[in-house]
Structure 1
Amino acid sequence: SDRAEKKRIEAEAVKVDQEKKKKTEFYITRTLEEELLLVPEGVRKPLQTAYRLASGKRSDEQKTLLKKYPSVANISAGSLYLYDRRRDVRAGKLDAERKQKEKRFLAETRKANPGVKVTAASLAKLNPKAAAELEADRKTAIRLRSEKAAADLKTFAARAEEIRARIPNEGFLRALTEVPGKVPATFVFYRGDHQQPQQKVEPGELSVVNLHVPVKLPVNDKAVPTTGRRLAYARHLVSGRHPLVARVIVNRIWMHHFGRGLVSSPGDFGVLGERPTHPGLLDWLADEFVRSGWQIKRLHRLILDSWAFRQSSSRTLELDRIDPDNLLVGRMSIRRLESEALRDAILAISGSMNSGMFGQPVSVMEDAVGQIVLGKENLDGERKPTKTIDLEGEQFRRSLYVQVRRTRPLGVLETFDVPVMTPNCSKRPSSNVAPQSLMLMNSDFVIEYSERLASRVVTEAGPDRRSQVLRAWRLAYGVDPDPEVIGDLLSFVERQSEAFGKVATKNDKATPPQRALASLCQALLSANRFLYVD
């Protein structure tokens, strides 16, 4: 089974962890011995004893001694990389001292052997003791540089991680269940404190709803193993008689199509919420939704085929005077793409989208400058990013599969009003602020996918510049540009190509015409025509 396989693989990884633990202790001991050689001989033994004692068992004198010699007190598994640097410095000093020794030994040997040509190569024959000392220093310097504790320990961590990567994923479903045969008692908590139960209550609907459609839930339904309360309530919700369920669903679907619900407060249909602008339409849609068997697809079709949805978004003076906020839906409202839809649209037209379904979410991380990007964190001992881990195409997946963390919203999504889930988001905000334009001009994400779009255009349209700008426009907007617009596009690409040609270097990855086409693609992706649904 998966659990048996997991246990076997974990045992294999634990062995590597134990090897790492032993190796870590070896490096700590080695570092301790090296650091003790740098302190006065009289304090070496008591300093070693103080270090090896647990912090809670050290005397005041031992604590004072360790405080005096922090290079010993600070030795730990997490600080070994710092001592690796100190070893490099010592190796450098040892090399410098060895060169000075070599000059001195050569001079002394020449003086002792007049008339004999003495070189570094012949020193071993003429002065074996000096040559042996120099060779010992050379080997010591090599050893100091080669035995890097931090790098060696990372190999153990990498091995353990590689082994654990083979552990099969266990699929879990979270479910709330009742204890069979036990009827729970429910109380009203005094001021919400569960430790102060007061009035006992029977299962039932919210009293404000129950006034209009009374419902009685069973205390204990003998026909099912549990009390049957939740089953009875679920049946009541979808019975078609509940005053809220169908209206709330219909209102939310309407909101996604028109930008505003028939009730402007989709999360509050109560006294504190907004009144519906078209109560009769809301009731009719809710009734039609229930009568059609709760078919959401049919409801979408009903709305999309309506005259209201197929209206133009053009404004008129009369409409603005009568209904400036368009509450009566006298025209279609212009709406900006949601952040996820915007990212997905850029992925799609650049030809990069990975349409794979299901699986694990695409993880997010902080990059070197603190921006939240797609990636797997790989930090060193100083919590700084190290080698980038290849996402193997997962970075091209739809935004639906991007990991959602409240403290780490993906940068490209956050700028365009990612939903704030604290505690939930009943209605998404839509703003128009300067950082959005700045992101479209300077974001690595937009620049990268503009270049990808340009590459796709060249592949599909060939070398002809007119064909390229036509293809780019069609991919971005789904229609052909007007004849006068084509001239402007060609002129823009020509000017950009000349500008890039003046600053081009041999190290540039793209030619000036390619960079110019990428600039055009970025301009198309940044235009209101791409960002807004008209």
Structure 2
Amino acid sequence: MPKKGPGRAGNGNFALSDLSLEVVPASGKPTAVKLTDARATYQQNEGGLSVRSSIDADKEKSGWAVDGGGIGKDQAAIFGFEKPLEADSRVLIRMRFHVNTQHSLGRFRLSVATDPSADFETGKGSSQWLADGWEAVRQGQSDRLTSRQRAVLQDWFASRDAGWKERKEALQTHLAAKPAKEVKPVMICSEGVRPLKHHADGRGYPHFYPEVHVLKRGDPKQQEGVAEAGYLQVLMPSGDSKAQWLRQPAAQVKTSGHRTSVAAWLTDAESGAGSLLARVAVNRVWQHHFGRGIVSTPNDFGFQGERPSHPELLDWLADDFVRHGWSIKRLHRQILMSAVYRQSSAFDEKDAAKDVDNRFLWRFQPRRLEGEAIRDSLLAVSGMLDSTMYGPGSLDENMMRRSVYFTVKRSKLPTSMLVFDWPEHLVSIGARPVTTVAPQSLYLMNSPQVRQYAGALAKRSGGDISEIYRLALNREATGEERRSADAFLNAQSALYEGKSDATLRALTDFCHALMTSNEFLYLP
């Protein structure tokens, strides 16, 4: 039985909603016998799940149950008769389990006693096996015990031994702490499944079209031939057949193989769309690191888009990207280790006169971090970042996980993201807008979360100015910065004079100022 009973419910419980008894005469109608003085070894509560509720007027919503402390143990109940029965009476006993049809009894037995004050004693298994086994032990004939009698005797003695109870509780506590299997739901997309029905079937539109037609002016009544699966011809050399990318699925597979074929065409740099895909991909990564792609219109590589500033570089990066297995990680490392990325952001008037927009990257263009990166950096520097991966998202702005785990709900968007140009999530965004507005400064100065992060950094640093600079700005403090920091801390400590945590408050103010500085918010 589940959880070793005594009931058949999933948690081992039962719920006896009604117990009734009738005397059945040799002739005539049965006569109900009123049951009284109900008592039990254990009951779930004193109300609707007590043993008395099994003989009350409510036969549907109340009943004797034992969840909470009676699971996995033998239980017993005694019911008295309001009037004694005759010795040879024939009785009819009915038990109802209307509270929950799954909560029935597992194994039970009925006994009758002539003594109204009779008490009960529960044991493991049959009382006859227990009695016979105990008698054999008393007579010194333990070798004659059956396996069933031996098991019943062992359980009976174990249930009364304090040491065994203590060890069993320790074992159960240990087993309860066993790590459970982590089940993570994943979305599985497939082909070949039965199409979903829609609500237009009764109006002349079938649930599923076995063939898709080209419609003149979008009119379903003006069909101009079957539309077959194919690829963008503008991305295919003249004369190439789509058959080279078709993948026939195995005989036992229900899918059509269309998605695999599209993937093969999309990554074919010789005859398919691979050459364009590689250029678009490396341009997006370049834009991520420099703020602007080699093609400044990342969503438009066509005639209406901008020409690349370095066409040879774009082609070389795309070719190298494909030749090395489309490795995004390698591409990131390649750009970060390049001379153009590691150059200074210092301004030069002569170079600016030739290229005021820095389109040809004569210096590293300082740029502000995205909203997610700002929040994640604040959490990381403070030591409060929860690096747990995967799992569900959250609407709580106070969560300590990375910002990628924010749930996007249009009616409840996080302020910390919106103020730093969080994009609209329902449309494709090739490049985010970057603004510098007053609400950003107000948020950084007044946000309780930012203040909390600053306090955590103050405690983490132990009051060491050099450590604060290393954690927040990843560099050592200069002599002038040390002197300015000491003067600032002395002035702030004077403002908090009389407070028990004056030093910590002053240090928090300093960390707050450093974490909202341009050097923290901008690259480099």
Under TM normalisation by the shorter chain, which class is it? Answer: 0.5 to 0.7
Aligned to 2:286: 254
- Is contact 1:218–1:228 with CA below 8 Å preserved after alignment? no
Q: Give the structure 2 partner of residue 209 of structure 1.
A: 235
- Cα RMSD, aligned residues only: 3.3
- Partners of 1:440 and 1:526 within 8 A in 2: yes
How do residues 131-280 of structure 1 correspond to structure 2 at under 5 angstroms? Answer: 171-178=185-192, 184-190=210-216, 198-210=224-236, 214-217=240-243, 224=250, 225=253, 226-241=255-270, 242=273, 243-280=275-312
Verify the 8 A CA contact 1:219 1:227 in the aligned structure 2: no
Q: 2:481 aligns with which of 478, 481, 485?
A: 485
Q: Percent identity of the aligned residues?
A: 39
Equivalence for 1:61: none
Q: Which amino acid aligns with 2:405?
A: Y
Q: Distance in 1 between matches of 2:219 and 2:461?
A: 63
Structure 1 gap segments, 5+ residues each: 1-6, 13-18, 20-165, 365-372, 375-394, 462-467, 505-509
Query: Could you tell me how far apart the structure 1 residues matched to 2:493 and 2:219 are?
Result: 70
Residue 388 (structure 1) aligns with: none
Higher relative CO (CA 8 A, sep ≥ 6), structure 1 or 2? 1
Q: What displacement does 1:396 show?
A: 1.3
Alignment match of 1:448 (pick from 434, 448, 452): 452
Residue 335 (structure 2) pairs with residue 306 (structure 1):
no
Match of 2:505 among 515, 519, 534: 515
**Compared with structure 1, are the counterparts of its residues 273 and 499 closer, same or farther at alpha carbon in structure 2 (3 Å cutoff)?**
same
Q: Is the 8 A contact 2:419 2:440 kept in 1?
A: yes
Map of 1:113-124 to 2, 5 A cutoff?
Answer: none
Between the aligned partners of 1:174 and 1:469, the Cα distance in structure 2 is 52
SS at 2:301 equivalent: coil
SS of alignment partner, residue 260 of structure 1: coil
- Bigger radius of gyration among the two: 2
Deviation at 1:305, TM superposition (A): 2.3
- Cα contact 2:367–2:523 (8 A) shared by 1: yes
SS of 1:308's partner is helix
Whichever structure has more helix as a proportion of its residues is: 1
- Pairwise CA distance, 1:452: 1.4
Query: Which residue number in structure 1 is paired with residue 514 of structure 2?
Result: 524
Query: 1:489 Cα deviation (Å)?
Result: 0.6
Residue 424 (structure 1) aligns with? 428
Aligned-partner residue type, residue 478 of structure 1: N
* Matched AA of 1:205: Y
What is the distance in 2 between the residues matched to 1:271 and 1:195? Answer: 36
Superposed displacement of residue 252, structure 1: 0.8
Instruction: Give the letter for the 1:290 counterpart.
Output: V
CA distance in 2: counterparts of 1:213 and 1:516, whole angstroms:
74
In the alignment, does 2:467 pair up with 1:471? Answer: yes
Does residue 1:438 correspond to 2:438, yes or no? no
Q: Look up the equivalent residue of 1:175 and give its one-letter code.
A: C
Q: 1:198, CA displacement in angstroms?
A: 4.6
Q: Is the 8 A contact 1:218 1:227 kept in 2?
A: no
Write the deviation string for residues 45-79 of structure 1: whole angstroms up to 9, x where unpaired.
xxxxxxxxxxxxxxxxxxxxxxxxxxxxxxxxxxx
Taking a change above 3 Å as real, the CA distance of residues 222 and 410 of structure 1, as seen in their structure-2 partners, is closer
User: Corresponding residue for 1:162?
Assistant: none
* Residues 251 and 282 in structure 1, CA contact (< 8 A), matched pair in contact too: yes
Normalising by structure 2, we get a TM-score of 0.58
**TM-score scaled by structure 1?**
0.57
Equivalence for 1:82: none
Q: Are residues 343 and 219 of structure 1, via their aligned partners in 2, closer, same or farther at CA, if it must alter by over 3 Å?
A: closer
CA change 1:222–1:425 in 2 (3 A) is closer
Counterparts of 2:508 and 2:384, CA distance in 1 = 15
Letter in 2 for 1:480: E
Name the CA distance, whole Å, in 2 between partners of 1:401 and 1:193.
44
User: What are the ranges of 5 or more consecutive residues in structure 2 without an aligned counterpart?
Assistant: 1-8, 15-47, 49-179, 195-207
Residue identity matched to 1:200: V
Aligned pairs for 1:26-425 within 5 A: 171-178=185-192, 184-190=210-216, 198-210=224-236, 214-217=240-243, 224=250, 225=253, 226-241=255-270, 242=273, 243-364=275-396, 373-374=397-398, 395-425=399-429
Deviation at 1:8, TM superposition (A): 6.8
